[in-house]
């Protein structure tokens, strides 16, 4: 098959594009610049690359036609964030016989009343990002159910892996939280640290897209949660991070308002975005319909990302090196 991947040199594309090429597909990678993938692969030599600025071409109304002219059997869209952008692409692809695989997000769910959350639970997104992605998802799946454009949505969790900073033990992206845990210093967590995060390695998201390519009938008109086997609590992640550096976790718990006063409003807002949803998602549907089997646990995915961050000098561990996981 001929497969076009929008955002092919990004974190998911780094793993997906060579995987598709290795499976014998003709792959076209679309990206804005000449950035190298996050990791190298000999399979990139067999990939056609197209440089395109989606934002500029969306503004000009030319992006959808640009993609349609590639005459792909499957388009994988890793970079769609608004309904207008989605409509430009679907208007151009509708009736062509092309299948569209869209990278969605678990943020389309608001706080869950039952966990693990399943795909057909009502969606109550609580952020602008989540609401925008929910609009895109509804548009795509409605078109698919009406037989106008075969579409699938992959609802990815907190994506991480080498080269990508993970959501950390305080529910935000502050790298020195990892550093403080490595150095054996005190770290403050909100509430009792029992809210959850549900990470996924970018390579496992790539796995799910590849499985959809191989099982189009099972994937058509469906949304799938794609996350690690289990979620992890803030305090569970903090404890694991400290242990990787041979340190005892020194955790202090504070009511959220006190936590916010201590870390600052901007950082606290990022934390609140994550812990207010406290996502714990089921992967049973993806496992059953597609054969999805995540290779990385949530902790393994974070560990791999952290090892790269330490090696790149982005986390001050006080000279401590993270242990190798078994």
Average pLDDT of 147-174? 97
pTM metric for this prediction? 0.96
Task: Measure the CA–CA gap between 112 and 131, rounded to whole angstroms.
Answer: 16
Q: Give the DSSP H or E segment for 260.
A: helix 256-263
Average pLDDT of 168-179? 98
Average pLDDT of 43-58? 93
Please name each of the domains of the chain with its CATH number. 2-159+199-226 (3.40.50.720), 161-197+230-278+297-311 (3.90.25)
Across the chain, what does the average pLDDT equal?
96
Average pLDDT of 155-174? 96
Residue 42, pLDDT score: 87
Residue 69, pLDDT score: 97
The HSE-up count of residue 298 (CA atoms within 13 Å, CB side) is: 27
Whether the pLDDT of residue 157 is over 80: the answer is yes
Task: Measure the CA–CA gap between 325 and 318, rounded to whole angstroms.
Answer: 20
* 301-152-225 Cα angle (round to 5): 35
Task: Measure the CA–CA gap between 185 and 48, rounded to whole angstroms.
Answer: 49
Residue 24, pLDDT score: 97
Residue 34, pLDDT score: 66
Q: Give the DSSP H or E segment for 65.
A: helix 63-68
Residue 39, pLDDT score: 74
Residue 37, pLDDT score: 74
Q: What is the pLDDT of residues 106-148, one digit of tens each?
A: 999 989 889 999 999 999 999 999 999 999 999 999 999 999 9
For residue 233, give the 3-state DSSP assignment: strand
Task: Measure the CA–CA gap between 22 and 215, rounded to whole angstroms.
Answer: 17
For residue 180, give the 3-state DSSP assignment: helix
């Amino acid at each position: 098959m001929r497969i076009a991947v929008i955002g092919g040199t990004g974190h998911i594309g780094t793993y997906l594009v060579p995987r598709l090429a290795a499976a014998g597909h003709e792959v076209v990678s679309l990206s804005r610049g000449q950035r190298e993938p996050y990791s190298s692969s000999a399979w990139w030599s067999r990939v056609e690359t197209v440089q395109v600025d989606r934002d500029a071409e969306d503004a000009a109304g030319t992006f959808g036609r640009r993609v349609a002219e590639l005459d792909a059997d499957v388009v994988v869209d890793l970079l769609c964030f608004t309904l207008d952008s989605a409509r430009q692409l679907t208007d151009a692809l509708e009736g062509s016989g092309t299948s569209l695989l869209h990278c969605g997000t678990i943020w389309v769910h608001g706080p869950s009343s039952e966990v693990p959350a399943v795909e057909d639970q009502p969606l109550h997104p609580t952020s602008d990002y989540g609401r925008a992605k929910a609009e895109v998802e509804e548009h795509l799946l409605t078109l698919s159910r009406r037989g106008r454009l075969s579409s699938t949505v992959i609802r990815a969790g907190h994506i991480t892996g080498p080269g990508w900073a993970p959501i950390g033990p305080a529910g935000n992206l502050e790298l020195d939280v990892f550093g403080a845990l490595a150095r054996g210093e005190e770290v403050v967590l909100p509430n009792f640290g029992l809210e959850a995060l549900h990470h996924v390695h970018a390579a496992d998201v790539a796995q799910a897209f590849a499985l959809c390519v191989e099982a189009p009938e099972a994937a058509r008109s469906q949304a799938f949660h794609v996350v690690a086997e289990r979620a992890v609590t803030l305090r569970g992640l903090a404890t694991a991070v400290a242990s990787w550096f041979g340190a005892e976790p020194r955790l202090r718990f504070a009511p959220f308002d006190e936590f916010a006063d201590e870390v600052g409003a901007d950082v606290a807002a990022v934390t609140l975005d994550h812990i207010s949803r406290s996502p714990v998602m089921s992967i049973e549907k993806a496992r059953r319909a597609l054969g999805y089997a995540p290779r990385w646990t949530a902790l393994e995915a974070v560990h791999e990302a952290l090892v790269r961050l330490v090696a790149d000098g982005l986390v001050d561990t006080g000279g401590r090196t993270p242990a190798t996981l078994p």
